[in-house]
């Protein structure tokens, strides 16, 4: 659809998209308007990457998108080396398809290099040549897997008196590594404390791409998150100064506008959703793509509620959507699910939230647990 053919609504100029169109389009591209029957690997590939700071959350993210998804599907993908867990977007842990990791990691490497120069690492790496540190790290890992603790201890043998954990972490940021499959297996709601790493080329049995085109990153992002601004792309990837990159691709992209007359980019043939499409209740995991894919997140969450979901900026709490927008948070409490709406819900919405929570409970609760689902407060 050419931007000049997008129908105007409520006096809006052709080519200018309402927030509701952006909402429904994002939900459609994220498989949140209706669960897909695509294999989990295809869904993960479409999404480019899923944040996996805590191992269990990507499983919930796939459950809410893929019909009939089971825990062992993702565990098998990790064991069979079709999916890897590693540091990627925004210097955080993600699950990425093995083939995608080979081009994605080199493209976001500048972000990781910047993180490795942060004050947290500066004291321990002061006076060291990064190339020498990286070379020893690669030598120690060549053909083998080491725990982060083991890698740090061996680095300290060469540079006594320094913090081995931070030396190992600096090497892991600058050199592509993958975590062992057990690190991403189902069963942990918190950060794993014991992580073993392998050089990515050794684990994948293929080299990383030497010079992947930035066009790949832009097109893949827009397929899953567009239409979007340059600022949105930068917020998702962690990269900066992408205006020139996107401008260089402009002739092959669709150019649109949002309600605030900001320039949006999209793939030329990517469909835009009907704003009247019903959006079912969906439960999202912590750190879900939908809440981290844009600089302006008002297409799915208000600024007021964003502060409740992302306290302090480091955490993104698990949420649930009602009519396509974040209306509350939830948590697993042993065998129970606890739901915390941000305000009163209509009776029909409340019933729909409870029904979807009932479907989620057997997936996240310990096996054999009796249904235990409740709102934290009475919202009638």
Query: How many C-alpha atoms does 29 have within 13 Å on its Cβ side?
Result: 27
- 250: containing domain: 3-29+212-266
The answer on pLDDT for 380 being more than 50 is: no
Secondary element (H or E) of residue 373: strand 373-375
In a domain, 235, yes or no: yes
pLDDT value, residue 194 = 86
In a domain, 273, yes or no: no
The string of DSSP codes covering 328-341 is EEEEEETTEEEEEE
DSSP state of 66: B
Mark whether 51 and 23 lie in a shared domain: no
In the chain, the N- to C-terminal Cα span, in Å, equals 44
In a domain, 279, yes or no: no
Number of Cβ within a 10 Å radius of residue 173: 22
Mark whether 125 and 229 lie in a shared domain: no
The string of DSSP codes covering 302-321 is -HHHHHHHSGGGT----EEE
* Residue 321, φ and ψ in degrees, nearest 5: -105, 135
Mark whether 55 and 190 lie in a shared domain: yes
pLDDT value, residue 206 = 96
In a domain, 42, yes or no: no
Confidence of residue 192 (pLDDT cuts 50, 70, 90): confident
Whole-angstrom CA distances from 320 to 35, 58, 296 are 15, 15, 19
The number of distinct structural domains making up the chain is 3
**Three-state SS letters, 136-156:** HHHHHHCCCCEEHHHHHHHHH
Mark whether 17 and 89 lie in a shared domain: no
Mark whether 91 and 172 lie in a shared domain: yes
Closest by Cα among 108, 53, 21 to 288? 53
Identify the burial level of 236 via C-beta atoms within 10 angstroms of its C-beta, where 0-12 means exposed, 13-18 middle and 19 or more buried.
buried
Lowest mean pLDDT, pick from 15-19, 145-149, 341-345: 15-19
Q: Is 230 helix (H, G, I), strand (E, B) or coil?
A: helix
Mark whether 308 and 358 lie in a shared domain: yes
The answer on pLDDT for 93 being more than 50 is: yes
At 363, list the tokens: 């997936």
Q: How far apart are CA 376 and CA 104, in angstroms?
A: 41
50 bridge partner residues: 95
Mean pLDDT of 133-152: 96
- Picking from 204, 223, 254, the residue at the C-terminal end of a domain is 204
Q: How far apart are CA 225 and CA 223, in angstroms?
A: 6
Top-ranked range on mean pLDDT: pick from 12-16, 25-29, 304-308:
25-29
The answer on pLDDT for 337 being more than 60 is: yes
Mark whether 71 and 196 lie in a shared domain: yes
The answer on pLDDT for 179 being more than 60 is: yes
Mark whether 52 and 198 lie in a shared domain: yes
In a domain, 295, yes or no: no
Secondary element (H or E) of residue 258: strand 254-258
Number of Cβ within a 10 Å radius of residue 373: 18
At 237, list the tokens: 């990837």
Q: How far apart are CA 357 and CA 367, in angstroms?
A: 16
Q: How far apart are CA 305 and CA 328, in angstroms?
A: 8
- Picking from 185, 204, 223, the residue at the C-terminal end of a domain is 204
In a domain, 282, yes or no: no
- Picking from 150, 182, 204, the residue at the C-terminal end of a domain is 204
The answer on pLDDT for 132 being more than 90 is: yes
In a domain, 37, yes or no: no
Mark whether 241 and 194 lie in a shared domain: no
Mark whether 57 and 200 lie in a shared domain: yes
In a domain, 291, yes or no: no
Mark whether 172 and 83 lie in a shared domain: yes
Number of Cβ within a 10 Å radius of residue 134: 17
Report pTM.
Answer: 0.93
Mean pLDDT of 117-139: 94
**Three-state SS letters, 84-151:** EEEECHHHCEEEEEHHHHHHHHHHHHHHHHHHHCCHHHHHHHCCCCHHHHHHHHHHHHCCCCEEHHHH
Percent of the chain with pLDDT over 90: 89
Query: How many C-alpha atoms does 379 have within 13 Å on its Cβ side?
Result: 20
The answer on pLDDT for 36 being more than 90 is: yes
Cα pseudo-dihedral 253, 259, 260, 266, rounded to 10 = -10
Mark whether 57 and 188 lie in a shared domain: yes
User: No. of H helices and E strands in the chain?
Assistant: 16, 14
Q: How far apart are CA 193 and CA 35, in angstroms?
A: 33
């Amino acid at each position: 659809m050419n931007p000049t053919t997008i129908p105007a609504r409520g006096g809006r100029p052709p080519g200018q998209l309402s927030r509701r169109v952006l909402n429904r389009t994002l939900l459609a591209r994220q498989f949140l308007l209706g669960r897909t029957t695509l294999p989990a690997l295809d869904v993960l590939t479409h999404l480019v990457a899923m944040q996996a700071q805590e191992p269990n959350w990507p499983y919930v993210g796939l459950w809410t998108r893929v019909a009939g998804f089971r825990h062992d599907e993702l565990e098998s993908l990790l064991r069979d080396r079709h999916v890897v867990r590693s540091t990627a977007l925004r210097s955080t842990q993600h699950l990425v398809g093995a083939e995608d990791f080979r081009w994605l990691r080199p493209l976001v490497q500048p972000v990781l290099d910047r993180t490795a120069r942060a004050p947290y690492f500066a004291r321990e790496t002061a006076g060291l040549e990064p190339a020498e540190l990286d070379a020893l790290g690669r030598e120690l890992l060549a053909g083998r897997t080491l725990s982060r603790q083991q890698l740090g201890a061996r680095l300290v043998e060469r540079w006594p008196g320094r913090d081995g954990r931070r030396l190992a972490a600096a090497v892991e940021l600058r050199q592509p590594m993958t975590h062992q499959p057990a690190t991403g297996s189902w069963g942990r709601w918190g950060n794993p404390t014991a992580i073993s790493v392998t050089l990515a080329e050794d684990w994948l049995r293929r080299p990383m791409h030497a010079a992947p085109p930035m066009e790949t990153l832009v097109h893949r992002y827009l397929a899953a998150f567009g239409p979007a601004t340059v600022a949105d792309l930068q917020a998702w990837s962690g990269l900066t100064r992408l205006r020139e990159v996107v401008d260089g691709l402009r002739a092959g992209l669709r150019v649109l506008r949002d309600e605030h007359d900001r320039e949006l980019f999209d793939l030329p043939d990517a469909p835009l959703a009907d704003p009247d499409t019903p959006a079912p209740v969906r439960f999202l995991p912590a750190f879900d793509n939908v809440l981290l894919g844009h600089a302006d997140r008002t297409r799915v969450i208000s600024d007021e509620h964003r502060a409740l979901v992302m306290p302090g900026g480091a955490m993104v709490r698990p949420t649930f959507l009602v009519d396509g927008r974040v209306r509350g948070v939830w948590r697993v409490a042993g065998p129970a699910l606890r739901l915390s709406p941000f305000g009163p819900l209509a009776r029909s919405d409340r019933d729909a939230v409870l029904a979807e929570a009932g479907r989620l409970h057997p997936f996240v609760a310990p096996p054999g647990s009796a249904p235990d689902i409740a709102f934290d407060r009475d919202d009638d």
